[in-house]
Amino acid sequence: MERLTDINPARIAWCADQIGLAPSDMASELGISANTISRLLDGEGGVTFRQLRQISKYFGRSVFFFLESTPVRDETAYTPQFRTLANQAPEIAPKVWKIIRQAETQRERYFGLLEELRVSEIPVFEPPDIADRDVTGSARVARKWLGIDRENSFDTYRESIERVGILVFRSNGYNGQWQVPKESTMLGFSLYQDTCPVIFVRKQVAEARQTFTLTHELGHLLLHHKSAIDSERDFESDDTDEREANQFAGAFLVPDAELVLIGTASVPDEPADVDDWLKPIQQRTGASGEVVLRRLLDSGRVTSDRCRAYCLWKASQAFGQKEGGNRGYCHREPIHMFGDRFVRAVLDGISTDAISLTKASRYLDNLKLHDIHALEEYYASI
């Protein structure tokens, strides 16, 4: 098979360096022999077109990117949002950087689809003016802006957020290109943009943890107008932006109107009994017991000792990334991952011949063709 020898090895090395991928790990990550990679990086060999596509797919670049002879310029190779995250968290694992690149690509695909479909009414991100408000007041304005009802879950918050021009993506629970590595502590990130920001949430066993991440990232977008990436450590940080995003999420999920309904005279003595005590408000708001208790602590209605005891007990429980799922419903997984708005745009693209089934499959995490048809049938039935 003919091998391409005009590949710029410096561009491959640059891509690997950007995501912290060592040359010794490149062969196993790319699925190409170590000898081929070694010769390629030394400028002494080539690869087949299929192998070049593997390299391009892994690094989220076009094939032509690696055929250009000029050096890479950071300001043109990456968006300002990506560079912001790279400066903020240079230690992030290579697979997480890939997910960030994929999220940006999905946003580009979304707008490309809307252009192909000639959609005239595209929701544009026009955040409320909260410059002169405190964080709690900002959360109150944001709830009104989004039209938040009293009873909510991750899905209803997500739907409200997507209506105002923000795309919300969530990792999948099975092995794939959108799965966050188990060893990573990254919980979510936000990519700020004037017209269409993106929020990414890591799938968790406890939905309340996903919901908090979602609203924490929303806080970054509305309060700070910049991109952010957050790990478990960041959620406990004393950094001003992180503390404000946490406060925003708490006030957004558990507004004052909900707090006054909690009778604190019957606070359980045992931390293990707190979730049962708070179950009604947790079910209404989608907030975790920890978030509710912290709001009660801030309002002076529970002691710091009770709050600390519950948080320590909760931290001892086993939580993590949600794995697997019912593969009988895998045709619906793109909705959970990319949101209703994105999936509908892809299906509209198929029905109007704006995109092929093959391209639609690629947009929907390589969904099999028969599952795409099952997804179309599902939407037709709702």
Q: How confident is the model at residue 82 (pLDDT cuts 50, 70, 90)?
A: confident
Q: Look at 17-26, 258-267, 295-304 and tell me which has the smallest mean pLDDT.
A: 17-26
Give CA–CA dist 248/294, Å, rounded.
12
- pLDDT tens digits, 162-172: 999 999 999 98
Domain chopping of the chain, boundaries: 9-77, 135-257, 327-381
Judge residue 340's burial from the number of C-beta atoms within 10 Å of its C-beta, 0-12 exposed, 13-18 middle, 19 or more buried: middle
Confirm if 223 and 248 have CB atoms less than 8 A apart.
yes
User: Does 110 or 21 have the greater pLDDT score?
Assistant: 110
236 has pLDDT over 90: no
326 has pLDDT over 60: no
- pLDDT tens digits, 114-151: 988 888 778 889 999 987 789 999 999 999 999 998 88
Q: Look at 93-97, 227-231, 356-360 and tell me which has the smallest mean pLDDT.
A: 93-97
- pLDDT tens digits, 165-195: 999 999 987 778 899 988 889 999 999 999 9
Give CA–CA dist 179/304, Å, rounded.
37
Domain covering 9-77 in this structure, CATH number: 1.10.260.40
H-type helices in the chain, by residue range? 9-18, 23-30, 34-41, 49-59, 74-77, 80-88, 94-117, 135-146, 154-163, 207-219, 232-235, 240-253, 256-259, 274-285, 289-298, 304-315, 333-338, 340-351, 357-363, 369-381
Phi, psi of 80 (to 5 degrees): -60, -35
User: Same fold for the domain at 9-77 and the one at 135-257?
Assistant: no
Q: Which fold has domain 135-257?
A: Arc Repressor Mutant, subunit A (1.10.10)
The pLDDT value given to residue 87: 75
